[in-house]
Structure 1
Amino acid sequence: MRLGFVGTGTITEAIVTGLCTGGSDDRIAVSPRNAERAAQLAAAFPEVSIAGDNQAVVDAGADMLFLAIRPQVAEAVIRPLTFSPGQTVVSLVAAMDRESLLSWIGVDVTLVQAIPLPFVARRDGVTAIYPGNEQVSALFDRLGRAVPCDRKEEYDVLAAASAMMGTTFGVMERLTGWMQMQGMRDETARAYLAPLFSSLAQTALSSPEMSFTALREEFSTHGGLNEQVFRDFDTRGGTQALTEAMDRVLARIRTGIAPQD
């Protein structure tokens, strides 16, 4: 398969790394914009070549073209490019409405939006895509698991949920800070917390028949410490703050408001 990446940032690096270390026989062209990262990818993987410019990437990515650019510059990058009718274009542009993307592309293409997460680099990512597309799903299944959405509303909700990554690390950061205040070394706290969070996630993955409520109750003795902490979180504003934050993120996604520099 011939793949092209307009934009050579973190997510492009993660996708290319996952594909190439997974035994890919794809031919991959990356844009020269981030010269250092493009050079690193080309040096690491013989499947990767650096195109002369973005138009050369579009031409090289005949089977599947990825738009991996920041929303702030998306219009300026996309409008000058000449796409091929029927070309499969995968937009990784965050919080960008389809109508604008199609308008900038200017020809009838197969446009799929996707939210790959950094874990695709080790082929352990979950990637929401909209609308469902067999070819795009198959590619992201090689990098973990694709989750096709039939409705844009579903896709937007998954996009909002993906915004919890920083907060998850933030909770671990705050908890580590509290543990340090109790006299514990940072490395000891991290050595304990990271596997704890990982094991909880693995438990949820391995128990699909159990709701999160059931899992919480399973791991919380009545009158015990786990029950106490969740009750404090729930009754002292934690649930409300989380819900309001997610509502604001979802509203931002649905209105297509680009993040600020």
Structure 2
Amino acid sequence: MSKDMTNPVLGILGVGYFASYFTSSLRKGGYKGKIYLSPRNAQTAERISKEHRCLVAQDNQDVIDKSDIILLSIRPEQLPGLLEKLSFRDNQIVITAVAGKTIADHYAVAGHLPQTLIRMIPVCSIEAGEGVVPIYPPNPEVEKIADFTGTPISFDSEHDFDLALTTSCMNGWLYEFFGTMTDWLEEKGLSQDQARNVILHNIRGATAYALQKKDQKLADITGEIATEGTFTLEGLNLLKKQNGFTAWDQALEHVHKKLTE
């Protein structure tokens, strides 16, 4: 355990894809604290420890004993079995990246968890130094950790956190969308690299431009570009006619319902 809370010791229970991109983003962002990994997924733990300067603990309890902050990065169905025999210190912070489980759900499974239990599930793009890190409830120490990885946004209610988490699923949908457009360009004759760069840098430019216009509604930006007589408006009207945007709303509603049932 460290007394230096500028670089607290972080322990991770559940070593898989999430732990891999989270530790990578922490190190790239300049986090210098010790990181202890659960040894259960031995091959992945060994790889992450070598790539991102982490330490593999003896067992799950050893992770907790050596850490200031513990991150739970497991699937929801694994939560009861993981927490059943573990003991925490009252002054520790537990961050949970368990999707679909409320704070109350965690205490129902393990009442012995510390008082400070924080939900935080960042998107995989934090490995590139970009992306939202939703946090509930607000906590300065967790926000400091998150700041190494992306853009932390704290919420005062679990309802708002779940809304943000729903939109995080959008990343996977966007890659499929980008892929569809690059495939179209390739079919029309562009090389794979050209198609990829055209699409991704167009998207990157669009988001950078929108972030710059922070006081303007996004729909108003569209209105400035898709004016009468433009090809942009031609395509936009076709997308609306084909319910292209309604489908996204439906997907968000469906995922939100699943997350909060």
Cα distance in structure 2, aligned partners of 1:172 and 1:119: 15
8 A contact 1:95–1:254 mirrored in 2 = yes
Correspondent of 1:20 among 22, 27, 30: 27
Q: Does structure 1 residue 119 correspond to structure 2 residue 115?
A: no
Change (3 A) 1:163 1:21: closer
Correspondent of 2:79 among 59, 74, 81: 74
Q: Does structure 1 residue 4 correspond to structure 2 residue 11?
A: yes
Deviation (angstroms), 1:97: 2.3
Cα distance in structure 2, aligned partners of 1:16 and 1:176: 31
Q: Does structure 1 residue 229 correspond to structure 2 residue 209?
A: no
Counterpart in the other structure of 2:218: 212
Cα distance in structure 2, aligned partners of 1:174 and 1:123: 25
Select between 246-255 and 222-231 the one with higher mean Cα deviation.
222-231
Select between 104-113 and 16-25 the one with higher mean Cα deviation.
16-25
Counterpart in the other structure of 1:153: 159
Higher relative contact order structure (alpha carbons within 8 Å, sequence separation ≥ 6): 1
Normalising by structure 2, we get a TM-score of: 0.90
8 A contact 2:30–2:148 mirrored in 1 = no
Equivalent residue of 1:223, what SS?
coil
8 A contact 2:39–2:56 mirrored in 1 = yes
Select between 148-157 and 213-222 the one with higher mean Cα deviation.
213-222
Deviation (angstroms), 1:166: 1.2
Mapping for residues 1-261 of structure 1, pairs under 5 Å: 1-46=8-53, 48-61=54-67, 63-109=68-114, 110-255=116-261
Deviation (angstroms), 1:37: 2.5
Deviation (angstroms), 1:137: 0.9
* Percent of pairs with identical residues: 25
Q: Could you list the runs of 5+ residues in structure 1 that have no partner in the other structure? A: 256-261
Equivalent residue of 2:182, what SS?
helix
8 A contact 2:135–2:152 mirrored in 1 = yes
Q: How many residues align?
A: 253
1:61-115 Cα offsets, whole Å, 9 max, x none, are 2x21000112232222222322223421100011122222112232252110011
| Paired amino acid for 1:178 | W
Change (3 A) 1:183 1:23: closer
Normalising by structure 1, we get a TM-score of: 0.90
8 A contact 2:27–2:52 mirrored in 1 = yes
Equivalent residue of 2:48, what SS?
helix
Cα distance in structure 1, aligned partners of 2:175 and 2:49: 31
Change (3 A) 1:172 1:21: closer
Equivalent residue of 1:238, what SS?
coil
1:135-191 Cα offsets, whole Å, 9 max, x none, are 111111122221000011111110111111111111111122222333433332112
Select between 67-76 and 154-163 the one with higher mean Cα deviation.
67-76
Q: Could you list the runs of 5+ residues in structure 2 that have no partner in the other structure? A: 1-7
Deviation (angstroms), 1:239: 2.1
Cα distance in structure 2, aligned partners of 1:157 and 1:15: 21
Q: How large is the RMSD of aligned CA atoms in angstroms?
A: 1.7
